[in-house]
Structure 1
């Protein structure tokens, strides 16, 4: 790229740097509050940290996906809505789980129950089924939301019966975990927004196309809360919470995020103007023909990789996930050119 293509306005770059610094600070601090408060909350309500990660933390860190996908659907931009969900799921496994495994290798050997694996593929299968005819009507969106309610009810029912084999020692003790948990979620969400704005502005100043920005920075941006919570959990030795956050967020995205977005604005080509209808058909073609199977592959890797080679080479497995994600981003970039 020619040197002249790079913007060198010092005020602009200072603002961008400030956004990134403040955003990452909020992400880091928010993740610390979120993980610590969630751990205390788990002890108080009598469920495992894994269940808290699969529910409370996953729901909170998936808030950006809800906002982005719902607004995109309301604006008739279903490609962004669906792509955000599938892309975030890929980032959660490749980037979040991979990065967390580098920090806490044992994280890949967290004992996810058969329940969690089953629900992952139930969510994938249900989304594929309701969208296989290139449309998602309100009753189908409602079916996705019913599935999400059933998933959480099942988690809370079985979570009280789970017995943790080990209970990590945590620094600090929070007497009021709920307010701190909410503060952590808000901090993460605000920090993620600031980081996305700063990164997007920087990318535009460097002359990177908007298509590549949308496929990479925006997709990763909505997964920053999961990354912050996952890495924060790993740093505090909360492997169950980190893995639960990834698995729970992915199921949340597939069932609740798509369900809410399609409930607000059903994905029906016949109700759209001609150009929007063609874009909607193309979005479903791409999602069902390519992206869905990429999500399936990453989901299988995330669930099966812990069983490959025993407990040795856990960091290598984390690097493998990161390499796969980097390859996916490179493939997207080359395909978008």
Structure 2
């Protein structure tokens, strides 16, 4: 078990480091092709920080651990709201533009509801996976039509930057693949030897680990005064987790949910945290999204972790 635990910890570190490089390259390429900063946060940066969840979920499903993939998708979204966004808001309030409330927040609510429709019968089928991917394609088309084109740098500077960003993009992706596979192996080995359900491991160790890129990105963006990028990263990452991560176990390992608590406890928690965020953004009409919302989100996450801990104790670990 010590080997598996050590491999998991190393994989988490490599996963976070490589995701950061991947995000840097992806954001640089996006800006070179004329995307706004807010849109970069919602799309390319969100995609980069969601890449670990996608890879972990896919490799888990291929390894016969679909419960880990589902738990990772839900647990990562819960961590994004209750930990990443909460800590970001507790550190510094984030501006909440009108378009975020009307468009991005609406998309987040609709996608969360769609995930509930898919999960409510306790089964994941390939049809469910296709429905979620169709939702992703629809959202991508809408987002693409709303892109803006900021001024471009001189050709020589742009070409040199593109080469560097492409290297970061590809190198980060390779390391993401390797570290994600190692993380799934280590997490499932720890779960098996400790006699803990894979869903619980996915909701804690894996979900928290794969949310580290979002946390690092949001804190860095907020520190530099790019609150719109930070907020777009969290909302975009949550949307992509449900439309890209959740389809992986549905397409690669369809079947009944191994743990009913994934719907009763975890999806319900996700809905409640999403509603807290929605209420906070609705109030942030003339002022930034502030520490009150952050405290409420963090409090909800603390309660959730307490429930998970009791589940661990009930399992006799």
What interval of TM-score do these two structures reach, taking the shorter chain for normalisation?
0.7 to 0.9
Equivalent of residue 271 in structure 2, options 296, 304, 325? 296
Corresponding residue for residue 259 of structure 1:
247
- Counterparts of 1:228 and 1:193, CA distance in 2: 22
Question: 1:133 aligns to what SS in structure 2?
Answer: coil
Correspondences of 1:1-20 after superposition (within 5 Å): none
- The 2-side partners of 1:195 and 1:72 are apart by 10
In structure 2, runs of 5+ residues without a counterpart are: 151-157
Output the CA distance in 1 between the equivalents of 2:120 and 2:201: 28
Partner of 1:146: 134
Alpha-carbon deviation of 1:110?
4.6
**TM-score in terms of structure 2 length:** 0.75
For structure 1, list consecutive stretches of 5 or more residues without a partner in the other structure.
1-8, 164-172, 270-279
Alignment CA distance shift 1:189-1:325 (3 Å): farther
Residue 108 of structure 1 and its aligned partner are, at CA, apart by 5.3
Deviations 1:110-145 (A, max 9, x none): 541422122112212222223333323222311111
Corresponding residue for residue 335 of structure 1 = 311
CA pair 108-28 structure 1, distance change in 2 beyond 3 A? farther
Contact 1:86–1:292 (Cα < 8 Å) also in 2: yes
Distance in 2 between residues matched to 1:264 and 1:70, nearest whole Å: 7
Between Structure 1 and Structure 2, whose CA radius of gyration is higher?
Answer: 1
Show the counterpart of 1:106. 93
Instruction: Find the counterpart in structure 1 of residue 44 from structure 2.
Output: 56
Q: Please say if residues 195 and 221 of structure 1, whose CA atoms lie closer than 8 Å, have aligned partners that are also in contact.
A: no
Q: Would the aligned equivalents of 2:82 and 2:300 in 1 still touch at CA under 8 Å?
A: yes
1:159 aligns to 2:135 (yes or no): no
**Runs of 4 or more above 6 Å deviation:** 185-201
Aligned length: 298
Q: CA RMSD in A?
A: 4.0
**In terms of mean alpha carbon deviation, does 218-227 or 208-217 score higher?**
208-217
Q: Which of residues 106, 111, 125 is equivalent to 2:113?
A: 125
- Alpha-carbon contact 1:68-1:81 (below 8 Å) kept: yes
Q: Deviations over 1:23-43 (max 9, x none)?
A: 769847964x56665665554
| Residue 323 (structure 1) aligned with residue 294 (structure 2) | no
What is the CA distance between 1:100 and its match in structure 2? 1.8
Distance 2:62 2:27 in 1: 36
For residues 313 and 127 of structure 1, the distance between their equivalents in structure 2, rounded to whole angstroms, comes to 26
Change in Cα spacing, 1:237 to 1:190, as seen in structure 2 (3 Å) is farther
Tell me the SS of whatever aligns to 2:104: helix
Alignment of 1:228 with 2:204, yes or no, is no
Query: 1:330 & 1:55 partners in 2: Cα distance?
Result: 33
Q: 2:237 aligns with which of 237, 246, 249?
A: 249
